[in-house]
Structure 1
């Protein structure tokens, strides 16, 4: 079974891993990845800085707490073991993320992630988008953008 960047959204990871293990045949593998710490993902660091600039009192915290909130490999391994898996491999992988522009990145993140709901609740989305683009451009340049993105890849066996 393969899960790409999904396990960090499970509300009870050990229970979810137990369910994965339950449905897998004996001797099967579970391969998945999680994002590394927010600080290892330059694009989302710039994005979060833009959100904090747009909302200095209470910025949306989806990226540090959810998307990058399951970024300690030791915790992931402990959860897998608690669910009955044997961890065969854990690998840190850093690749370069690429986008045509910071405007494209901001639009994608602000409309295609749960941050969208937070922005809709607070209103003034065009101004927020402009602030986020300005901050991201200051940090990453206007584009094309190339920046490191770190993830952890895990392979566990039943």
Structure 2
């Protein structure tokens, strides 16, 4: 079976479930962290144009729009137009330019931006070094590329629990989306090598950021993972009528490990900053 492209994978009802469930569950703490790091660098460098790639439904974009001065123009892009439509529908504190764009072929001239930001998006790029070369191309001299990636799945408790539950449900062909994509690019040495191959000659700064994932119930967390990510398509490919059942299996696994009411789990990610 041919894997869906990224723009196909984040279509249908996934953008709405993603923003309502996944963003508060996983992305909000790291969006705050990334926006604060951007603001610190903006205070030092006073950039005029910032590009966000793989903006999704705008979790980081909204924080940047609230944090940065209006003099900093924000251009937020994503390969998936439905995700951008959801982001634009939610809105931002000040105008943001939303534009559909492929990070592998950015539709911007050389040196067009002072900073490029990406929240949990580089894992989806098919050729990391080539994508990093594109980022370097659109950065001006002294510009900064700031992004984050998840650590291995074992250090992210909700994701690991859901993946284990689905592996038990489909032992002959377990869905591997979480392990292979979101949690598949955690080797910091590989990241350094890909940045170097992409033309970044300066050594990147890589820091570990631990956070807490919170859900009001195991059912909401299970809904986020099973129906708010492309894992939904993997479940439906194995059992066209099995999405609700798989979501319930994941919810029971989360409840068994973390409790039946509001739950909290550990998360870990890396934040990478590199100068052009």
Answer yes or no: same fold by TM over 0.5: yes
Describe the superposition over 1:8-53 as per-residue Cα deviations: whole angstroms up to 9, x where unpaired: 0000000000000001101100000000010100111111111112
Count of aligned pairs: 158
Q: Which of 123, 126, 130 in structure 1 is aligned with 2:248? A: 130
1:6 aligns with 2:124: no
- Distance in 1 (alpha carbons) for counterparts of 2:154 and 2:261: 21
Larger deviation, residues 45-54 vs 81-90: 81-90
Return the TM-score normalized by structure 2.
Answer: 0.56
Q: Which of 61, 64, 67 in structure 1 is aligned with 2:176? A: 61
1:72 aligns with 2:220: no
1:118 aligns with 2:234: yes
Unaligned runs of 5+ in 2: 1-115
- Distance in 2 (alpha carbons) for counterparts of 1:87 and 1:149: 26
Q: Which of 208, 221, 225 in structure 2 is aligned with 1:92? A: 208
Which secondary structure state, in structure 2, belongs to the residue aligned with residue 26 of structure 1?
strand
Describe the superposition over 1:49-100 as per-residue Cα deviations: whole angstroms up to 9, x where unpaired: 1111211111100111111000111111111111111234110111111111
1:24 aligns with 2:144: no
Larger deviation, residues 88-97 vs 3-12: 88-97
Does the CA-based 8 Å contact 1:40-1:148 persist in structure 2? yes
The runs of at least 4 aligned residues of structure 1 exceeding 2 Å deviation read: none
Does the CA-based 8 Å contact 2:232-2:243 persist in structure 1? no
Higher relative contact order (CA 8 A, sep 6+): 1
Does the CA-based 8 Å contact 2:235-2:243 persist in structure 1? yes
Describe the superposition over 1:126-145 as per-residue Cα deviations: whole angstroms up to 9, x where unpaired: 22112111112112222311
